[in-house]
Structure 1
Amino acid sequence: MSQVFWNSHTKESFDRNWDDFLLKYGLVDNKWLSDLYEDRHIWVPIYLDHHFWVGMRSIQRSESMHSFFNKFITWNSSLIQFVKQYDNCLGSREQTERESNAADFHTVIPCVTKSSIETQFQHVYTHQKFREVQAQFKGKENYITRLTNSALGYSVYEVGEQVSSSIFNKFAVTYDSVEAQVKFQCLLFESIGISRPKRVKL
């Protein structure tokens, strides 16, 4: 199901992938999944494409908290043990953040390309975010870009992402030269905040 959820770049492809998923696993008449599908506009990323989420998923915060506290307490810890360990938890978190900030301030991750855009990201992003951007730069060779339309300051590109030797995902990317803005069909930049390889390649 994660393939349906994360790899649907248009609403139409989500609907098609959802139907294929239900057929494949014999779940066409499942009421719970039918109700879930009806509420897709509040949980499917492509339906939330106009919101900026900084790459966070709905359960990410609770996963992070569980991971954080599991270092100090267990499921059978008493309330007294929890209170005693709470200060240790906070101290550990603060120390980790200080170390991360120091590393970001005193070290530089080298660029993997000669792109001036990557160099700009190198100077303004944290190491963690810059590594994500670098992964996008490294992935740009899997994209083929073709200008499909150009008029009145707008250029529309078809971008093909090669996912295997014979399979391509296709996206539309619009460049507005008057406003100097790029708009992606998949809207992942708008929701996640990471420059996609198709943007880098344009």
Structure 2
Amino acid sequence: MRHIFWAGSKTTQCVKSINSFFDGFLNKHTRLFEFGPKYIQAMVSRANDKQPADAADQRFSRPLITGFMPERFFRKIYTDAKFLDVQEECNRVTPLQKVINSDVETVTHMIEERVWVLCKDTRIEFRTQYTRIYHVKMHAKTSEAYCNYKHFETHGIICHHIIKVSDMHKVTIVPKKSVLPAGTRMF
């Protein structure tokens, strides 16, 4: 289900998150005619809860940790929390790659990297001895890239494979296709 946008969460997390958000506004005894006003109350509450974070994003600019162009670009347009996810992807860029196919329109790169595992107890990620192969296709004229890892399609952030290939091709702009539309909510 990597082709479906989940905002970085699993299906059960989405349901639990939505249920916990509406607790206090709606319950199993809420009548249909009460639903509209209570739903509006919940949305106003959510908007008010986000105002301090939005104000902090306007005043604070997190320092860059890599020299990659996407990191500079997304620092300007994403919230601090979403930008941290971009920085994490920039940190994962791997040097293992090679071109496997090239024509006038596209260049296909094969990237082999070690598999990352999240330790449940410590919540720390580490690389294992196992490897996976990913393919990144970059369109020569538009600089649009597609990776079979499908991180953008699932989490809304371009993956470190695309960041690496974009850097190799000295891409100076992030294509609109790789930017979440304004107003997209992340749970």
Coarse TM-score class (shorter-chain normalised) = 0.5 to 0.7
Q: How high is the TM-score relative to the length of structure 1? A: 0.59
Any unmatched runs of 5+ in structure 2?
116-126, 166-187
Query: What are the ranges of 5 or more consecutive residues in structure 1 without an aligned counterpart?
Result: 1-44
- Do structure 1's residue 151 and structure 2's residue 103 form an aligned pair? yes
Structure 1 residues 54 and 89: CA distance shift in structure 2, 3 A: closer
Sequence identity (%):
23
Partner of 1:180: 143
Relative to its length, the structure with more strand (as a share) is 2
Using CA pairs below 8 Å that are at least 6 residues apart, which structure has the higher relative contact order?
A: 2
- Provide, for residues 15-60 of structure 1, a one-character-per-residue CA deviation record: whole Å limited to 9, x for no partner: xxxxxxxxxxxxxxxxxxxxxxxxxxxxxx14xx2x4444343333
Match of 2:87?
134
The letter of the residue matching 1:116 is M
- Paired residues, number: 146
* Structure having the higher Rg: 1
Please show how residues 1-202 of structure 1 align to structure 2 within 5 Å.
45-46=1-2, 49=3, 51-68=4-21, 93-141=46-94, 144-163=96-115, 164=127, 166-202=129-165
> 1:53/1:116 Cα in 2 relative to 1: closer, same or farther (>3 Å)?
same
> 1:114-153 CA distances to partner (integer Å, 9 max, x unpaired)?
2222111000111111011111111114x51111121223
Distance change (3 Å), C-alpha of 1:186 and 1:117: closer
The TM-score, its normalising length taken from structure 2, stands at 0.64
Question: 2-side partners of 1:131 and 1:101: how far apart?
Answer: 15
Q: Distance in 2 between matches of 1:166 and 1:132?
A: 24
RMSD after superposition: 3.0
